Structure 1
Amino acid sequence: MKYTKILRVFVIAIVLALLMVTIPAAPAQAARDITIYPEEGAIGTEITISGEGFSASTDITERYVNVYFSSDEASMIHYIDNQVTYYNRVKEGQYIELDGTFDYTFTVPDKLDDGEDEEDVTVGTYYIYVTREYTNPLTQSTRIGALAEFTVVGGDITIDPDEGPVGSEVEITGEEFLGNEDLVITYDDDEIDIESGDDDTDRDGEFACTVLIPESTAGTHTIKVTVGGSEVEVEFTVESYIDLDPTSGEAGTDVSVSGTGFGRRSDVDIYFDNEAITYDAASSDGSFEVTVTVPELDKGLYDVEAEDDDGNLDTAKFTITVPASTQPPEPTPAPGPAPSPTALNISATSGKVGSDLIITGAGFEAAGTVTIKFGDEVLDTVLADASGIFVAILKVPSLKAGEYPITISDGTNTEERTFTLEAVPPPIPEPLLPKMGVKAKTPVIFDWESVTAEAEPVSYALQVATDKDFDEGSIVLEKTDLVASEYATSESESLELAERETVYYWRIRAIDADENEGEWTGAGEFYVSKSFSFPKWALYTLLGLGGLVLFAVGYLMGRRTAYYYTF
């Protein structure tokens, strides 16, 4: 009997084992997983996200997930709105297919503003979170079911200057790039060297470096900065430029004229004093070099101009030091004064503070010291060469707008020209207090909107008058050199204003650092409340009465005490 039971158990075990082999096991759900493409890009880049291994929808039950773009790092044990508070909900209610997959495309946002906290999207690492599945839109899941990393690249660059001739030094500054990455700079897709400055970004993703503009034709060209996966482009405009060697000499001198920044393989005409004297063909990079002979002209400064078929041109100055003819003029009974032995050219007769002035002179004392004055201010002293020629490049000084003499002298020869200094005066401030028609308390507070000007800092002038035309005799208060955009009257000024029971008018204007005065504001009307003052006679009277009252009270109290002890 015992053996029979053992045999039965053994047979049942074998049967169960055979059944387990023949019956297939139910497949386990694969792990949720997402992939994204691309894995890096700038703001606005389209990202395609593909998910698999999610609980599939069925013919009866539809399942959904939500997709988030966030700067918070989390894992699949965390929840949206708990550990993840900075996010943008890029998709709500993404349907899961019958095979447990989904695909969705969205663009990288510029803000994370759907969560409890908000911030701008910048360069760096971000996270794409997909929640676990849910079936009821009213009870959406916030637990993270799958995640992927995305790198936001970008950056911004500026160049200074953004135009100029070939060989210009251009400073490139960049920010908002990935930190500690190498720089690659190209010019029209050809890599160029960094002459000075940074060759990689710092930890904040910033850099500053200098490059030289290579030989290239006139017009716009592309400077591209590549940092990691970020490429940022900016345009530089090449301007035509010519150089003379030498820049002075006698008539008949051979002069080399070299130019850059002209049209590709274009014909370039050379003019001397507006007369065409030769031409040359530019290279594929827009450069040329040709030798010309100075024509027979009198001593002085002359324009040498180069212009191509497309209208690209530049002008340089050449000084002829000896007249073409040495024969004396025919004598006259009464010869006039001899012409000035000097020649002078100034690049501009008007301009703003800080603009360039190129002053070229000839016929001054050989190797002499030339003093250049702008008004009463000495701008510079330069040395003329052995031929009496000098060139000075100066900046227009910081002065009030108007006409100024430019005087050039070597102690023997003097030349003078007039220069008009232009300036934009400060804008008119907007008055704030006191408001029109109000009765102001003392101290009177004058307040107005501050303004800015080209020449900082700005100061203000304030006037208060009893006449709206502000005649000289009607002005009762005047303040200048006010650096703040408000003024409170002093005690004495307040008393003086309060003494008059009359209407007052006030106005202000701004003055920049170069003493250029803006327009006055319109006249604002106000009154001043008369402050209460206690007369001295009334004070003394009250004190006397108080003393009498105290005496009477003391007298009565004394009589009452004496009466008490008597009885």
Structure 2
Amino acid sequence: MKCSKIFRTLTVAVTLSLLIVLIPSTPALAAPEITLSPTFGSIGTKVTITGANFESYRGDIISIFFDGVEIANSPLTVPETGSFTTYFSIPDDAAPGRAWVRIKSDVGTQLASSSFITWETEIELYPPDGAVGTIVTIKGKGFYADETVTVCYYNRTKETLGTEVATPAGEFTCTFTIPDSTAGEHKIVVEDAEGNSAKANFEVIPSTTLNPTSGAMGDEITVSGAGFDDDADVTIYLDNIEMATTQTDKNGSFETTFYVPVMKPDTYNIEAKDDGGNRGKTGFTVTAGASLSQTIGNVGTPLIVSGTGFKVGGVVTITYDAVEVKTAIAGNNGAFSIAFNVPPSVGGNHT
């Protein structure tokens, strides 16, 4: 009898063990989650919310909040698939920085969350300084999504340099040329129609240009300058020798001329300096050149040939129609002067 009872107990135990083995286990459901696209942007940026793994909440009403405020497309009912997609736009009062999108059940329990970064409005200049005429690229972010931004430059007055449409994330890139303006820092402001704005400073550096960039004694050289003080007196120096004076206009620009003096061949600095201490420098090359005391005359007419820009102490040969007539020695400044009489020759031009 006792053995029979023990046998029945073992039989039940074995049967329960088999049941435990044969009954399939139920897999654990993945936790609900949401993803945002994009995960950063500006006021007005349209954000897509994709929810997954909400099978446990099929048919339930859920609410969606951004930074604690319920979005326009909330609440919604979880579909049979357990997945959903909706969207919202970053509101006008969103503060810069990280904010959270949260999904809550109908009783207020948080089911899932993800963060979004709202950019602060800012711009950067590349390069941040340069001469008048410099091409500048300006990059900005944090502006109203898909809206036009206007780039303004301040010299004596406000000047619009260009417009660009911000991306859906509130970014933009714009290229412009620095206009005629005085030396120093100038404010650049970018603004959109919604009142978002950012500013940066561009420093104008004085500059000078020459036309031509090389020449011989007696040649006329035009010096142009930009980015100096407005209505300022400017002095032009060639190798520290004063060559000309002039005055800038209201935008700090000027133009003047001078004649190349007697100098040995070399490259020299030409510097423009205004009375505010602003300086612009460039190089000028003195080349060899010669001139005649007169260009018309008869056989036997005395001529003087003068030249500059030759090698100091070098022998200079004078030819008339490829025939040598005189030689001279260039002086310490590379100049020479020598006379000869026009040799017998037919009428017309001769070299």
User: What are the superposed Cα offsets for residues 368-413 of structure 1, whole Å, 9 maximum, x if unpaired?
Assistant: xxxxxxxxxxxxxxxxxxxxxxxxxxxxxxxxxxxxxxxxxxxxxx
Partner residue of 1:294? 260
CA 1:295–1:72: 2 relative to 1, 3 Å: farther
Higher relative contact order (CA 8 A, sep 6+): 2
Q: 1:122 aligns with which of 118, 121, 126?
A: 118
Partner residue of 1:4? none
Q: Distance in 2 between matches of 1:70 and 1:220?
A: 43
Q: 1:193 aligns with which of 143, 161, 164?
A: 161
Q: Could you tell me whether the CA contact under 8 Å between 2:95 and 2:118 is conserved in 1?
A: no
Q: Distance in 2 between matches of 1:173 and 1:71?
A: 31
Q: 1:73 aligns with which of 67, 71, 74?
A: 71
Q: 2:131 aligns with which of 152, 161, 165?
A: 165
User: Shift in Å at residue 121 of structure 1?
Assistant: 5.2
Partner residue of 1:234? 200
User: Shift in Å at residue 211 of structure 1?
Assistant: 0.6
2:258 aligned counterpart, secondary structure? strand
More strand by share: 2
CA 1:232–1:159: 2 relative to 1, 3 Å: same
Partner residue of 1:223? 188
2:118 aligned counterpart, secondary structure? coil
- How large is the RMSD of aligned CA atoms in angstroms? 3.5
Q: Distance in 2 between matches of 1:120 and 1:327?
A: 73
User: Counterparts in 2 of 1:305-320, with a 5 A limit?
Assistant: 305-320=271-286
Identify unmatched segments of 5+ residues in structure 1.
1-40, 43-67, 79-105, 124-153, 332-337, 340-567
TM-score (norm 1): 0.33
More helix by share: 1
- 1:204 aligns to 2:169 (yes or no): yes
Name the amino acid aligned to 1:220: E
CA 1:114–1:173: 2 relative to 1, 3 Å: closer
Q: Could you tell me whether the CA contact under 8 Å between 2:230 and 2:252 is conserved in 1?
A: yes
The aligned length equals 208
Q: Distance in 2 between matches of 1:202 and 1:107?
A: 18
Identify unmatched segments of 5+ residues in structure 2.
1-41, 44-65, 77-92, 103-109, 289-306, 316-328, 331-351
TM-score (norm 2): 0.52
Q: Could you tell me whether the CA contact under 8 Å between 2:153 and 2:161 is conserved in 1?
A: no
Identity rate of aligned residues, in percent?
32
Q: Distance in 1 between matches of 2:312 and 2:144?
A: 75
Q: 1:262 aligns with which of 213, 216, 228?
A: 228
Partner residue of 2:237? 271
User: Shift in Å at residue 112 of structure 1?
Assistant: 4.0
Q: Distance in 2 between matches of 1:248 and 1:266?
A: 27
Q: 2:247 aligns with which of 281, 287, 312?
A: 281
Q: Could you tell me whether the CA contact under 8 Å between 2:265 and 2:310 is conserved in 1?
A: no
Name the amino acid aligned to 1:288: F
Q: Distance in 1 between matches of 2:94 and 2:311?
A: 83
Q: Distance in 2 between matches of 1:330 and 1:164?
A: 43
User: Counterparts in 2 of 1:544-555, with a 5 A limit?
Assistant: none
Name the amino acid aligned to 1:214: P
Q: Distance in 1 between matches of 2:74 and 2:160?
A: 47
Q: Distance in 1 between matches of 2:176 and 2:97?
A: 32
Q: Could you tell me whether the CA contact under 8 Å between 1:307 and 1:314 is conserved in 2?
A: yes
Q: Could you tell me whether the CA contact under 8 Å between 2:67 and 2:101 is conserved in 1?
A: no
Name the amino acid aligned to 1:264: D
User: Shift in Å at residue 233 of structure 1?
Assistant: 0.4
Q: Could you tell me whether the CA contact under 8 Å between 1:180 and 1:205 is conserved in 2?
A: yes
Q: Distance in 2 between matches of 1:170 and 1:182?
A: 19
Q: Distance in 1 between matches of 2:98 and 2:254?
A: 52
1:285 aligned counterpart, secondary structure? coil
Q: Distance in 1 between matches of 2:265 and 2:258?
A: 18
Q: Distance in 2 between matches of 1:179 and 1:108?
A: 15
Q: Could you tell me whether the CA contact under 8 Å between 2:215 and 2:286 is conserved in 1?
A: yes
User: What are the superposed Cα offsets for residues 489-511 of structure 1, whole Å, 9 maximum, x if unpaired?
Assistant: xxxxxxxxxxxxxxxxxxxxxxx
User: Counterparts in 2 of 1:365-514, with a 5 A limit?
Assistant: none
Structure 1 ranges of 4+ moved more than 6 A: 75-78, 113-116, 325-328
Q: Could you tell me whether the CA contact under 8 Å between 2:99 and 2:118 is conserved in 1?
A: no
